[in-house]
Structure 1
């Protein structure tokens, strides 16, 4: 996987920093801009770790009589502190037909949680089939589950036995559990420095080359090293977009009245020029702001041509987190995606927490068409937004749905997409559409629209109509 950068089209630093209308061509990789070396190990200490523990057989099933059909797991044991769990296995194309349950002990206590289910069907959140990111080093994996600060764990992985309803998918001759099952325990590390108004923006000379590069692709939106990209008004956003398109950089809104100049009661055609359909830029917490360790990801950035659609997901990582812990949840999922699952970076382009905070996801620039690994078969010319939590049976908070609307109104607006509309994307292959098929999809779709999956959970999926209408309203449609 690491080697596929060499054959890509070269892109200069200037191109990497360009606005949306002058981005690299489809499939291009932008080399990370050069930056001064780090000031020393203490300049960017971003702690965090992963414990990877092989699972062992726990009894057998004589009816199936196969090593792969036995329950696997670990008995209760003490471990180093961690906050997120997941399971990985050798073959990324193999599915785990069964159930994964864990229980954990809160750090420094004798209190054990009840059994919690880990979502096993996670392979549809990945790079498209046949692409370089699906190459060597990628593993099969469950969804990650946030459990909070813990220092004890027990896990059981039970195969799915054949029944009259699933016999076609699970046969006695099959090995329901894939080979090489390992428990991954992720410690997100400490929080980054404060992000308040008085927080000092680090100098490039005090940042690693990877961190400076990750920040530099947003340099037209915020200073290098900034923890937050500030919000803009709709007018400011429109003026910026017109300037990027070579316009005058000014916007005068058309009158809502039937005729005359804006505010005029006289007849005749209005001379005012309507601005572009784009929502006000929302406040976005950068990778620097949530403490992404830039040394984990691959060095360069991957781009597609444009952004025609947004796929909404839930992270399936559970709802038991405080918004003050969102950065830790993101650092944990990021580490799980890269170190455990073998992906090149965080899979989603953006994340949204339950309080409506918006976070930069995969590196490459929040205004640019960054190629993600979020919707198997439809990563090209799209973006992925993960709402942190599990929304199969729980309603997503209104703040989170509103944040999805604000984010899509801005990002889709940069590329001329109508949140209420439909578009066509070419399938890269999946379980709903064969490779090469042009598929008509809503501009704001749920993951399940492109792949047969539970994601983004029924309760969140049912809120997408509201997100579409609100997003369009923010664009002025």
Structure 2
């Protein structure tokens, strides 16, 4: 941050704009979890429903007084002055994930966002941590999800663990005036998007939301009723209509209420594919199907999804021709036993804070290699996600929990992605080592309507100008393709 601040202040066209929270010690009512909470920027958050686990505190950011750099001052002294200006430590309700949102999803935040948090219990403050400002996972242009009027621009969320204090600073950079135009405009007045708000997400009590995901080798919960899934699943202690619908979407694979879809042998998977796909299979697929054995998948009930947060119903495409690999940019500090909490927090951030209909990814993978169901609608079905802007039709998005620009993905992650793609792509006859054509819906690297030839297993950066899924994961996609093809029985 200091180097960034120094260059911004020293520049003749630089604009430094820091933002901090000024919160009362008497804490406000919980922020709304319903879509109504995504109204005009600056509106007071409505009280939360008492029957919904977790909460979101949505707090407006306020500009500090402008800083004046004395003539002849050095960049380093100006940097220090700015770093200390208005950065007070404030108490808030407990949370575990942070992010920053703003009004217009088509506006980019050109600058830097940093937060520091206080660990609950110990009272120890973290150092300053940066949030990824280019959060490019999104629904396609023109879709109901994108044009709902509820969607916000956002940073990527950051997992910080159980915390009860926060500071934030945001600095805009107007040195983008000479850049080529992009799909997201930069407000010229301040260098920062309007309506900046800090989102503090509490994923819910682990004891109530079932963080203890069933380990491999244990029997999954399959009974429909009070013993199925984590205690308190759905709204309150009763089964909601949306929780039932989400579970029913996987009824071809497991009984209602299952917390885990168990792994199958390859022969059993082939039999299941013929049942699921039936007349859709080509003669070659019937005679010699190429499909990997179904991997173990933790269902939405298994990770404790509050089904009443998302929109009703499901959105589908025709088929699954490709898989896009992502990372969540949420950091690698979580324990694998916390993965369900991380997913619940991302889910709440995507829906409550960003205004999407559901979590954006079709699947998620933690750093221990456990696979989780993402967007609702059935793991074997062609569910339309909001993961790769312009290419969400006929594709699926797989997000690895963590950040892999510098950190290498564990071997368990690579194996899990290979197993998942070998199975899901195999259901639709796709070769993991092959190429396919996807039609762009626009808003990405390609004009709307262009047929783009891509790898069947691609990285997010192949369809959008982004660093996702991080270089260290992206460079392993070749290994994933070969391993997935091997699982499908291809030579």
Fold equivalence (TM over 0.5): yes
Residue deviations 1:432-459 (CA, integer Å, cap 9, x gap): 1010000000000000000111101111
Aligned to 1:179: 194
Structure 1 runs not aligned, ≥5 long: 3-40, 64-69, 254-272
Specify which of 190, 207, 216 is matched with residue 205 of structure 2: 190
What is the TM-score when the length of structure 1 is the normalising length?
0.80
Residue deviations 1:191-233 (CA, integer Å, cap 9, x gap): 3345544675452585211111000010111111110000000
What is the deviation of 1:60? 2.0
2:66 paired with 1:53: no
* Cα distance change of structure 1 residues 83 and 416 upon mapping to structure 2, 3 Å threshold: same
Q: Which has the higher contact order (CA 8 A, sep 6+)?
A: 1
CA contact (8 A) 1:311 1:444 kept: yes
2:146 paired with 1:155: no
Distance in 2, Cα, partners of 1:133 & 1:153: 32
2:341 paired with 1:328: yes
* Cα distance change of structure 1 residues 157 and 413 upon mapping to structure 2, 3 Å threshold: same
What is the deviation of 1:173? 4.4
Matches within 5 A, 1:114-125: 114-122=127-135, 124-125=136-137
Residue deviations 1:327-361 (CA, integer Å, cap 9, x gap): 00000000000000000000000000000000000
Q: How many residues end up aligned between the 2 structures?
A: 407
CA contact (8 A) 1:92 1:138 kept: yes
Distance in 2, Cα, partners of 1:287 & 1:164: 45
Residue deviations 1:91-146 (CA, integer Å, cap 9, x gap): 11111010000000000222100000000001x20101121111211111110000
3-state DSSP class of the match of 1:134? coil
3-state DSSP class of the match of 2:89? strand
Matches within 5 A, 1:287-306: 287-306=300-319
What is the deviation of 1:164? 9.5
Aligned to 1:130: 142
What is the deviation of 1:161? 3.9
Calculate the aligned-residue CA RMSD, in Å. 2.7
Distance in 2, Cα, partners of 1:152 & 1:52: 14
Specify which of 221, 228, 243 is matched with residue 211 of structure 1: 243
What is the deviation of 1:176? 1.4
Distance in 2, Cα, partners of 1:400 & 1:339: 28
3-state DSSP class of the match of 1:212? helix
* Cα distance change of structure 1 residues 164 and 304 upon mapping to structure 2, 3 Å threshold: closer
Distance in 2, Cα, partners of 1:84 & 1:133: 24
What is the deviation of 1:275? 3.3
CA contact (8 A) 1:84 1:185 kept: yes
CA contact (8 A) 2:317 2:384 kept: yes
